[in-house]
Amino acid sequence: MAVEAMGDGVRVSFERLPQTASVGITLWRQGQEQEASTVRLEQTPILFTALQEGAVYCVRACTYLDGRPGSAPHGHTLCNHQGS
């Protein structure tokens, strides 16, 4: 997973994803995880905009192997300071 600050937003991308996989990406301001929502998509990158400057945001990405009944997601969480 690559996370890149872009102006007032953050871009989340993956180098390679299997064709049978999708990604669930969750973004939240640190300390406010209960207000987070997850976007599930089959292609990246995705751009989250209108983030508050100077705040710390966390991104969690989970890959889902579609077509495999009962497969559990594999995830990774990253928190980063949203600078100017």
Q: What whole-number distance in Å separates Cα of residue 39 and Cα of residue 18? A: 18
Beta strands in the chain (DSSP E): 2-6, 9-13, 21-29, 37-41, 46-48, 56-65, 74-81
Q: Report pLDDT digits (tens) over 34-60.
A: 888 888 888 788 898 888 888 888 888
Annotated domain spans of the chain: 2-81
- C-alpha closest to that of 3 among 40, 58, 41, 53: 58
Q: Report pLDDT digits (tens) over 59-70.
A: 888 887 765 545
Q: Report pLDDT digits (tens) over 25-38.
A: 899 998 998 888 88
Q: What whole-number distance in Å separates Cα of residue 66 and Cα of residue 56? A: 32
Class of domain 2-81: mainly beta
